[in-house]
């Protein structure tokens, strides 16, 4: 069974704060993704990666950086958090293309005050 974990599960920060969201998958999947989920928008892709050291820009990348340090680990970085980044963030992984089954983590709820 595919396993994707995220930490922290909940995070509160202030405007201008520095936040790192972590994602780990233990399935040796090539692809990993960061999404944000907001009411009325569904899931929107922030960044994704197809391997260690690789980073691809998603649909809503502004204000976010990401880094894929290993096959297993993908981090989302908010260096100057803003209230508009208050959201529920999901990490996912898949073996091949995005059309392949995506396995999602449990989500991280971020509140930026």
Partner 1 sequence: GEQVEQRPPHLSVREGDSAIIICTYTDSATAYFSWYKQEAGAGLQLLMSVLSNVDRKEEQGLTVLLNKKDKRLSLNLTAAHPGDSAVYFCAVSEPSNTDKVVFGTGTRLQVSP
Q: Cα–Cα distance between 58 and 10 in angstroms, integer?
A: 23
Residues 7-66 contacting partner 1, CB under 8 A: 31, 35, 40-45, 48, 50, 56, 58-59
When asked if residue 97 is in the footprint of partner 1 (CB under 8 A), the reply is yes
Q: How many CB atoms lie within 10 A of CB 74?
A: 30
Q: How many CB atoms lie within 10 A of CB 60?
A: 16
> Cβ closer to partner 1: 7 or 17?
7
Q: Is the peptide bond before 56 cis (omega within 30 degrees of 0)?
A: no
When asked if residue 102 is in the footprint of partner 1 (CB under 8 A), the reply is yes
When asked if residue 105 is in the footprint of partner 1 (CB under 8 A), the reply is yes
Number of residues that bind partner 1 (CB under 8 A): 26
């Amino acid at each position: 069974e595919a396993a994707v974990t995220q930490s922290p599960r909940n995070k509160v920060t202030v405007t201008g704060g520095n936040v790192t969201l972590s994602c780990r998958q233990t399935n040796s999947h090539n692809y990993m993704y960061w999404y944000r989920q907001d009411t009325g928008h569904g899931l929107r892709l922030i960044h994704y990666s197809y391997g260690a050291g690789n980073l691809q820009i998603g649909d809503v990348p502004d204000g976010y950086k990401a880094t894929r340090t290993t096959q297993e680990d993908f981090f989302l970085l908010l260096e100057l958090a803003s209230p508009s980044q208050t959201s529920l963030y999901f990490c996912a992984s898949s073996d091949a293309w995005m059309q392949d089954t995506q396995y999602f983590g449990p989500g991280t709820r971020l509140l930026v005050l």
